[in-house]
Amino acid sequence: MPAEEVQKLQKHLALLRQEYVKMQQKLVETERRCVAVMIEINKNKKTASDSFISRLLAIVADLYQQEQYR
């Protein structure tokens, strides 16, 4: 394989790795926010259980806890 092609592939792999790292960081941040929301929902469950947003967040939190969505 020519050296030029090897360099192209290495550069492409490096870019893919950077994107992968960015996506992993976004995933971690999203999980942190999800946990924070779940904690907040549990704290305010009695007072905010009637609002649409609270019910929607509770559904999302329940789905997040299910194994098939991890």
CB 42 within 8 A of CB 48: no
Which residue type is seen at 52? F
CB atoms within 10 A of CB 57: 17
Does pTM top 0.85 for this prediction? no
> pLDDT per position in the chain (70 positions), as tens?
788 999 999 999 999 999 999 999 999 999 889 888 888 777 766 555 567 777 788 788 888 787 776 6
Containing H/E element for 55? helix 52-65
In this prediction, residue 46 carries a pLDDT of: 59
- Which of 26, 37, 24, 43 lies closest to 64, judged by CA? 37
Containing H/E element for 25? helix 3-43
CB 37 within 8 A of CB 61: yes
In this prediction, residue 57 carries a pLDDT of: 80
